[in-house]
Amino acid sequence: MRSGFIDGFERRRRHLPHWEQPGATYFLTFNLQDRNAVDLSATHIAQTIVAALKHDDGHRYWLYDYVVMPDHVHLLLRVPAHDGKSEALWRIAQSLKGWLSRRINELTGRAGTLWQQETYDHIVRNREDFEEKARYIFQNPYAAGIVDESGEWRWWGRGKGE
């Protein structure tokens, strides 16, 4: 069984490649398994998601930007390293998705799997890459045709993000 911590560059593969590195910044996407199962942007659900994202901000990770869309969530976060080790990203994602699945199922009266099994993750390589991912998150509701201007979406925000 994996320990849940990494102490150097790691590469894993399921269907998607996953690269992790202590202290890295990541762009993540959680997608619904069935895009019509629930509307993640419904107020009571989106508030729950945002509260969950902010719960461990400053502890398990530093949250920079996020957006809750009707069928997916994007995050830009950094997992801090301590003595050259950091918590594994897969463990953080699994914890968030598991808690959110149980809570959203309770809120909506549904049962079963909520999220796709794999989370899309990307190590942010440099400042330009970071800024591009932050812009993508901010503009996602506009690009999806949900709002008329990028800053109008209620479920976009920033964490403590150092």
Instruction: Give per-residue pLDDT as tens, 5-46.
Output: 545 555 555 555 556 676 889 999 999 999 999 999 999 999
| Domain with 132 in it | 5-158
Beta bridge partners of 121: 28
Share of the chain above pLDDT 70, in %: 86
Q: Collect all residues with Cβ–Cβ distance below 8 Å to 87 and sequence separation of at least 6.
A: 4, 5, 6, 60, 61, 79
Q: Between these two residues, 20 and 141, which has the higher pLDDT value?
A: 141
What does pTM read for this prediction? Answer: 0.86
| Residue owning tokens 């994602």 | 93
What is the pLDDT at residue 116?
93
pLDDT value at 139 more than 50: yes
Domain CATH number, residue 79: 3.30.70.1290
Number of domains forming the structure of the chain:
1
The 10s digit of each residue's pLDDT in 39-92 is 999 999 999 999 999 999 999 999 999 999 999 999 999 999 888 788 888 889
